């Protein structure tokens, strides 16, 4: 995990990394069906796609109840699974959307995700272990 962290930090300095943000305004104007076809064509060979959605930073309430968790479930743009991390204050929540035709052992998949996150969290001594909610 530490080696991956070093690699990711080095790649963040890559000048071409921001290229998609230049295309995003044009892509946003495409009809949804065309955009889905293009995105699906680019990701159909992916086993997993991951997304990070910055969440709410402030304490918020809905109908008088404090919002404690926010889970994001991204679409499956042709890939077998979409894992979405959404941050909410000091907590990260992860939603997994899977194609049951591609991932036939869903419980094993969930266990592997949970173990992987536990391994990552163990690198930070004050982190709490992951909690799975179904």
Residue-level pLDDT at 132: 82
Strands 61-62 and 91-98: unpaired
Residue-level pLDDT at 17: 67
pLDDT in tens, the chain (134 residues): 678 778 877 877 777 666 667 777 777 777 777 766 766 666 667 788 888 888 888 888 999 999 988 888 888 877 889 999 998 888 889 999 999 999 999 999 999 999 998 888 888 888 887 888 87
Residue-level pLDDT at 20: 65
User: Is residue 72 within 8 Å of residue 95, measured between CB atoms?
Assistant: yes
- pTM for the complete prediction? 0.67
């Amino acid at each position: 995990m530490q080696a991956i962290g070093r690699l990711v930090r080095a790649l963040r300095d890559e000048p071409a990394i921001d290229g998609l943000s230049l295309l995003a305004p044009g892509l946003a104007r495409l009809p949804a069906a065309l955009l889905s076809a293009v995105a699906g064509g680019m990701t159909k060979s992916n086993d997993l796609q991951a997304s990070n959605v910055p969440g709410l930073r402030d304490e918020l309430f809905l109908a008088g109840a404090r919002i404690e968790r926010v889970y994001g479930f991204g679409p499956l743009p042709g890939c077998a699974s979409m894992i979405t991390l959404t941050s909410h204050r000091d907590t990260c929540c992860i939603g997994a959307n899977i194609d049951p035709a591609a991932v036939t052992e869903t419980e094993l998949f969930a266990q592997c995700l949970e173990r992987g996150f536990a391994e990552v969290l163990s690198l930070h001594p004050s982190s709490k272990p992951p909690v799975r909610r179904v």
